[in-house]
Amino acid sequence: MTDTAPAKRLYIKTYGCQMNVYDSERMADVLRPLGYGVTDDPEWADLVVLNTCHIREKATEKVYSELGQIKLMKSRKAAGGGTMTIAVAGCVAQAEGEEIMRRQPAVDLVVGPQAYHQLPELIARAHRSTGERLSADFAADDKFDALPRDRHVTGVTAFLTVQEGCDKFCTFCVVPYTRGGEWSRPADDVVAEARVLAAKGVREVTLLGQNVNAYDGCEGGLADLARQLAKIDGIDRIRYTTSHPRDMDEALIAAHGEVPELMPFLHLPVQSGSDRILKAMNRAHTAESYVRLIEKIRAARPDIALSGDFIVGFPGERDSDFEATLNLVREVGYASAFSFKYSRRPGTPASAMPGQVATQVMDERLQRLNALLQEQQEAFNRSVVGRTEPVLIEKLGRNPGQIGGRSPWLQPVHIEGPERLIGQIVPVRLDGATRNSLSGSLVLETV
């Protein structure tokens, strides 16, 4: 995101999940009325926000090393008579609080995910105060009510947060501690925001939540919300992420078969294929119940593509458990996936479990799992070659004369075509596939 000719320059660096991408956009929204425009160069920024992620340990350490770099920029700016305010937001802010300022005194303020609407006030206070630094009060008040509805829209797709937090307490995960309990935004608010987005040219919304399918901001849950959003003129595509298998209820499965706007792509993390490990993870599903769930979803929407998250090297994971994960992957067949080495997060139950797995073993398992998942992703991409499918054109391509969009299955598609098609859903013949994307050509009538 880059704005032109701002009075003050705001640099936001986003780590982690799509929820954070969305939050960063909203922070830019609340700061815009104060004269902040977004820059992608931190060196001369007046305000630097690191929107952090805490889910794996490396991410936290990356934040501290980035802060070291930014501190140098702040010093260089101060030497030239300028100022730079440094803010840390997101889950590291939530988890570490004041500790961040102790470890890196150049930080001016720390603000947790529930308090972004307070950013203007916090920044004003940071400017006024000399010497004294502040941190946010992490009270979970109504963040969304206080944020402007009138969002700054930069493209034809947009994220829309509908749910936050998690009560599932998977034993490896910090989210229930950093983002708090499950909370859903009232459906009327979501629909109102989606209307604003549609009026600004957005054609596709991705509903976000740590446990988005646990959404209960209206009586009929996420299925009902999707049906309401599908009725809005201009909203032609609806996606949602991330879901938990245990909240994938009959109504939502049925909606996949009945609401054409719901795209045939579902991110449904399983984490492991071993029941012993799933139990230790407190996932509340077995490998078999997950596979049966996938079968049901496929019965409702036969062309649905699956995506998942996997952890290798959870404490106590034996070779046979890992083999069970590979078998589950082979049985389900994924169109895309994320796989992670288990990361020991202090305070979570798994961090104290016996049988922590050696890094080398994790590395080997991750490599094998990735090889299989990549093979599946490539095979999935190849499977659509030769077909003509609707592609939402999102942006100009990398080379002149190229445009880029997404298939219904979230595959990036590169096409030769005119800029004026941006924002349209056009039939595209899919000609070629690589592991990560497709190439296609416009079907003649649309040119």
Q: Which is nearer to ligand SF4, 45 or 278 (CB)?
A: 278
The answer to whether 176 contacts ligand SF4 (rule: CB under 6 A) is yes
The answer to whether 168 contacts ligand SF4 (rule: CB under 6 A) is yes
Rounded-to-integer distance, Cα 442 and Cα 447, Å: 7
The partner in contact with residue 123, picked from ligand 5AD, ligand SF4, none with C-beta cut-offs of 5 to 8 angstroms by kind, is none
* Only segment of 4-12, 67-75, 294-302, 337-345 that touches ligand 5AD (CB under 6 A): 337-345
Q: How many CB atoms lie within 10 A of CB 258?
A: 13
* Only segment of 283-291, 339-347, 363-371, 387-395 that touches ligand 5AD (CB under 6 A): 339-347
* Only segment of 26-34, 148-156, 162-170, 184-192 that touches ligand SF4 (CB under 6 A): 162-170
- CA torsion sign for 218, 223, 224, 228 is positive
The answer to whether 56 contacts ligand 5AD (rule: CB under 6 A) is yes
In this chain, which of 101, 173, 208, 357 binds ligand 5AD, going by CB under 6 A? Answer: 173
Q: In the bound complex, what is the minimum distance in angstroms from residue 327's beta carbon to ligand 5AD?
A: 18
* Only segment of 96-104, 108-116, 135-143, 340-348 that touches ligand 5AD (CB under 6 A): 340-348
List the structure tokens of 218.
């209206």
Q: Which is nearer to ligand 5AD, 57 or 250 (CB)?
A: 57
The answer to whether 244 contacts ligand SF4 (rule: CB under 6 A) is yes
The partner in contact with residue 185, picked from ligand 5AD, ligand SF4, none with C-beta cut-offs of 5 to 8 angstroms by kind, is none
DSSP structure string for 274-330: -HHHHHHTT-S--HHHHHHHHHHHHHHSTT-EEEEEEEE--TT--HHHHHHHHHHHH
Residues 236-295 that bind ligand 5AD (CB under 6 A): 269, 271
The answer to whether 184 contacts ligand SF4 (rule: CB under 6 A) is no
Measured between its terminal Cα atoms, the distance across the chain in Å is 30
Q: Is the peptide bond before 446 cis (omega within 30 degrees of 0)?
A: no
Q: What's the distance, CA 379 to chain centroid?
A: 25
The partner in contact with residue 345, picked from ligand SF4, ligand 5AD, none with C-beta cut-offs of 5 to 8 angstroms by kind, is ligand 5AD
DSSP structure string for 223-292: HHHHHHHHTSTT--EEEEE---GGG--HHHHHHHHH-TTB-SEEE---B-S-HHHHHHTT-S--HHHHHH
Q: Which is nearer to ligand 5AD, 114 or 343 (CB)?
A: 343
- CA torsion sign for 96, 97, 103, 104 is positive
In this chain, which of 50, 87, 166, 278 binds ligand SF4, going by CB under 6 A? Answer: 166
Rounded-to-integer distance, Cα 75 and Cα 73, Å: 5
Q: In the bound complex, what is the minimum distance in angstroms from residue 293's beta carbon to ligand 5AD?
A: 16
405 burial (CB, 10 Å; 0-12 / 13-18 / 19+) is buried
The answer to whether 55 contacts ligand 5AD (rule: CB under 6 A) is yes
The partner in contact with residue 138, picked from ligand 5AD, ligand SF4, none with C-beta cut-offs of 5 to 8 angstroms by kind, is none
Q: Is 221 helix (H, G, I), strand (E, B) or coil?
A: helix
- Phi and psi dihedrals of 217, rounded to 5? -80, 0
The answer to whether 214 contacts ligand SF4 (rule: CB under 6 A) is no
Q: Which amino acid is present at 261? A: E
Q: In the bound complex, what is the minimum distance in angstroms from residue 377's beta carbon to ligand 5AD?
A: 17
Rounded-to-integer distance, Cα 413 and Cα 60, Å: 34
Q: Give the contacts of 147 (CB within 8 A, at least 6 positions apart).
A: 26, 29, 30, 116, 117
The answer to whether 210 contacts ligand SF4 (rule: CB under 6 A) is yes
Q: In the bound complex, what is the minimum distance in angstroms from residue 380's beta carbon to ligand SF4?
A: 24
* Only segment of 86-94, 320-328, 342-350, 362-370 that touches ligand 5AD (CB under 6 A): 342-350
Binding positions for ligand 5AD, rule: CB under 6 A: 55-56, 172-173, 269, 271, 309, 311, 340, 342-343, 345
Binding positions for ligand SF4, rule: CB under 6 A: 166, 168-170, 173, 175-176, 210-211, 244
